[in-house]
Structure 1
Amino acid sequence: MHISLLQCQSSRDVSANLLFIESQLKDLKRDVDTPHLVVLPECSLLFGGHESQQLAYAGDAHQSPLKSALSALAAKYQVFMVAGTIPALAEDGRVYSRCYLFDDKGDTLGHYDKLHLFDVDVADGTQQYRESETFCPGDHISVIDTPFGKIGLTVCYDLRFPDLFRAMRLAGAEIITVPSAFTKVTGEAHWQVLLQARAIETQCIILAAAQWGAHNEGSRETWGQSMVVGPWGNIIAQRQTGTGWVHAEIDLAEVHSIRSKMPVMQHNRFLEPSLK
């Protein structure tokens, strides 16, 4: 199966971000007769915007300019797309950080709203991150049937919560995507080890597309290192720095073989996780 992760250096300029993504899709080599999955990072079209900008671009499930733009790209370039995240209106006046999964015709197969919001103090130039001031947490997990297998959707900070990943594995996930914008400080410390841990625990293939570098005149700095991690914790492919593609071929036979030989889900004696 053909997989491509796009590492971006997105900004507050939606048009520029969209042009970059399309320029990369134009150069993407693919076999039109074989399904190809593209994964974009968190905030791929709007990174670091003030709350008013998030609200200006937010729409609902039926009308969203950012959703329409990304679904159109999926259809134009005939790729399945895990479309990073875009703002979607919530009932309380905030927005959801929403990840859509489109098929190669641009139709929506499903979506996921980020469950865990990054309200954290970090020793970097930003110092304080308070996503909950702008974003509303989601209320469901998403595992979606695709030609690639059953794909579970997560976003960035979700990576630190193994109960979510176990819940998706129990719901049938074979592949889990992690569109992200990890800070440079937290990414350098924890990004790789967390991705490998989640892959080993769930015996899933992890597809983690990341933001990288200095954004918006240096006001934010992200770690990068977009990675494809196998179900044994092995790094199949990665891009440490710079923008561009990470390509990989994956095979679910490895997933099924490892699960058969080491049936950890059957051995687990703890109760199944559930949302509060």
Structure 2
Amino acid sequence: MRISAIQMNQTSDKQANLDQARRLIEGALAADRPDMVTLPETWTNLGGGREARAAAAEVLPEPGGTGGAAYEFLRGIAKGAGIHVHGGSIIEQGPEKFFNTTLVFDPTGREIARYRKIHLFDITGPDGTGYRESALYGAGDALVTFEAGGVKFGCTICYDMRFPEQYLALRRAGAEAILVPSNFTLMTGKDHWEVLLRARAIETQCWVIAAASWGAYEERGATRQVYGHSLIADPWGHVVAKASDGIGWTTARLDAAVTARVRRDMPVLEHRRLA
């Protein structure tokens, strides 16, 4: 299976973000012919405060129903191109709070997975900038996996990557690859992004595919920066594809033989004693 991780520089303008995503996906399809594309975290909105998030949020339909603009965009790309689409995450309108939610569609346009981010980003960064995701978002409480192209994928989102127990649980649930759509801050990204993703790949012996947002965005009058550097790591922890600065994409082939060899030669799951 070939997969392209799309790297965006989204803003608080939902329609502009939809247009940017379409251009980048079409570019990846033409250049690399992937079987799946994956988008960053909250790719329909970054910045602008509560009002912008509310404007971007969508009430998700029951299976088979009609959704909002982002939902139908993802479904349309999947069906039109005949590929699997992992929709990074969008803002889901819940009854009381938003949810940071992943949607996955198969090549017929059928929704096959829906995951709500479990670990919410409530920290003060090294530069003193505060983030409190739980002020607006509720937390998910369920692991989610799906199959595509003969590969079993696990779903995570951004800050989840700092909790290896979630990744181990996905490996135990049969995952061979784990998706990590992200808006990783520049300050933490330059030190932790690649280290954490490679560690999760090594520990779980899974492919790790992380589509990320890059660049500057405005948040309540202040400029913030996200790190980008979308990457794909193999089950040995090698980074086999990586995006540079700027918008674009990176593509790699997930080779089942590599997964099998790594797990055969170092059967760490069989050797575990404490968890």
Using structure 2 for the length normalisation, give the TM-score: 0.92
1:46 aligns with 2:39: no
Q: Return 5+ residue gaps in structure 1 as ranges.
A: 272-276
SS state of the match for residue 27, structure 1? Answer: helix
Letter in 1 for 2:123: V
Runs of 4+ in 1 over 6 A off after TM superposition: none
Residue correspondence of structure 1 range 39-118 to structure 2 within 5 A: 39-56=38-55, 57-62=57-62, 63-91=67-95, 93-118=96-121
Shift of 1:49: 3.9
User: In 2, Cα distance between the equivalents of 1:98 and 1:85?
Assistant: 5
> What whole-Å deviation, never above 9, does each CA across 1:35-61 have from its counterpart, x for those lacking one?
711010001111124223333423133
User: In 1, Cα distance between the equivalents of 2:194 and 2:28?
Assistant: 26
Task: Provide the residue aligned with 1:251 in structure 2.
Answer: 255
CA contact (8 A) 2:28 2:34 kept: no
CA contact (8 A) 1:100 1:112 kept: yes
CA contact (8 A) 1:59 1:65 kept: no
Q: Which moved more, 1:139-148 or 1:181-190?
A: 139-148
Of residues 211, 215, 222, the one that matches 1:209 is 211
User: In 1, Cα distance between the equivalents of 2:150 and 2:226?
Assistant: 29
> What whole-Å deviation, never above 9, does each CA across 1:81-140 have from its counterpart, x for those lacking one?
11011111334x10110001111222111111000000000134x710000000000010
> What whole-Å deviation, never above 9, does each CA across 1:1-29 have from its counterpart, x for those lacking one?
21111000000001001101111222234
Task: Provide the residue aligned with 1:191 in structure 2.
Answer: 193
Shift of 1:189: 1.1
User: In 1, Cα distance between the equivalents of 2:24 and 2:31?
Assistant: 16
Q: Return 5+ residue gaps in structure 2 as ranges.
A: none
CA contact (8 A) 2:59 2:94 kept: no
Shift of 1:168: 0.1
Task: Provide the residue aligned with 1:154 in structure 2.
Answer: 156
Letter in 1 for 2:228: G
Residues 204 and 174 from structure 1, CA distance in 2 versus in 1: closer, same or farther, beyond 3 angstroms?
same
Identity over aligned pairs, percent:
36
User: In 1, Cα distance between the equivalents of 2:208 and 2:35?
Assistant: 16
Aligned length: 268
SS state of the match for residue 115, structure 1? Answer: coil
SS state of the match for residue 247, structure 1? Answer: strand
SS state of the match for residue 212, structure 2? Answer: coil
User: In 2, Cα distance between the equivalents of 1:30 and 1:19?
Assistant: 17
What is the Cα-based RMSD across aligned positions, in Å?
A: 1.9
